[in-house]
Amino acid sequence: MGFKSLFYLFIPHPQTHQKAHLLSWHFLVIYILLFMFLKVGLDLVGIYKPGVLGVDSNITATQIIEDTNKERAKNNLPSLIENQALSNAAKLKAQNMFAENYWAHFSPSGKDPWEFMLNSGYKFSFAGENLARNFASADDVVKAWMNSPSHKENIVNSKYKDIGVAVVEGNLNGQKTMLVVQMFGKPYEAFTSVPEVNVGSQKIAVEPSEVTKDRPMVLAGTTLKENLNSQTINPYSIIKTFGIGVIVFIGFLILLDFIILKRRGVFRFSSHHLAHLSFLGLAGASMFLTKAGEIL
């Protein structure tokens, strides 16, 4: 490639006024492919170097409970009382997600959310579960739950009296992950015909015999952190930085294209410009909306 050809990668051709080659659809496809390769590369790092990637957080269970009760107060509801059995159940659930490597309300081995509650000694009439992972702060977690109708329903449910929260760190799918498990409950009452659990927008009836039968109590153990890296690389920040860098670069080329063609007196706003601006707008919106946190 000659010097002039290299030059025309960045500016419009002086005779044909064809836009810079780096603004062609071929290169836009290349940018997208590079983004995809970066994502796949990070996934491979997570597989072959577990714990290198992750999101650092300093969330505590106390903060989650306080923020939850603030939201209930806004809805004229009484505060939930922290229950140690529910907190133990939440920790057992988090540890099980790491042990079986899953992100769901139900485990691959068939464990139900209420199984952890009952095994911790909490017998319920009504119960619920909210999950979150990889958030930076407790405020962000509760805000995300409140913006989701099904999770909000648990937080502002007038039936619940108790709450238990666990914040546990471990390796999930090759990444260092901070899991937040929030469990709600109302103690079992004999006159309640069918105990009910609210998980993932589903209201699931539980056989009363499952709730009332005696079970050996299971206690959550301490979480081992020796295998976790103290410093991790945030994959979401890498992807976001790369994406914003590409967007700024393309935006600079479009601006340069506008200026040069206007000085040449041949500038016309075309569908090509509209397509590029639309691409930038969509890409920019997706980048700025990209966040590490996820709820379930």
| Predicted confidence (pLDDT) per residue in 76-123, tens digit | 999 999 999 999 999 999 999 999 999 999 999 999 999 999 999 999
Whether 16 has a pLDDT exceeding 70, the answer reads: no
User: What distance lies between CA 22 and its chain's CA centroid?
Assistant: 34
Greatest mean pLDDT among 54-58, 138-142, 208-212: 138-142
For residue 112, give Cα distances in angstroms to 115, 116, 132, 157. 5, 7, 17, 21
Is the model more confident about 290 or about 218?
218
Angle between helices 235-264 and 271-289 (to 10 degrees): 160
Q: What value does the mean pLDDT of the chain take? A: 81
Evaluate whether 118 touches 215 at the Cβ level (below 8 Å): yes
Q: Three-class SS of residue 32? A: helix
Question: Residue written as tokens 């700025």?
Answer: 288
Amino acid letter at 78? P
Evaluate whether 134 touches 208 at the Cβ level (below 8 Å): no
> What band does 275 get if pLDDT is binned at 50, 70 and 90?
low
pLDDT digits 0-9 by tens, 182-205: 999 999 986 667 899 999 878 999
Tell me, what's the pLDDT at 189? 82
Angle at 18 between CA 16 and CA 19, to 5 degrees: 155
Q: Quote the CA–CA distance of 15 and 236 in Å, as a whole number.
A: 43
Closest CA to 32 of 290, 282, 237: 282
Q: Quote the CA–CA distance of 276 and 71 in Å, as a whole number.
A: 43
What is the pLDDT averaged over residues 266-278? Answer: 61
**pTM listed for this prediction:** 0.72
Q: Quote the CA–CA distance of 8 and 43 in Å, as a whole number.
A: 36
Is the model more confident about 148 or about 272?
148
> What band does 226 get if pLDDT is binned at 50, 70 and 90?
very low
Evaluate whether 165 touches 183 at the Cβ level (below 8 Å): yes
What is the pLDDT averaged over residues 234-244? Answer: 72
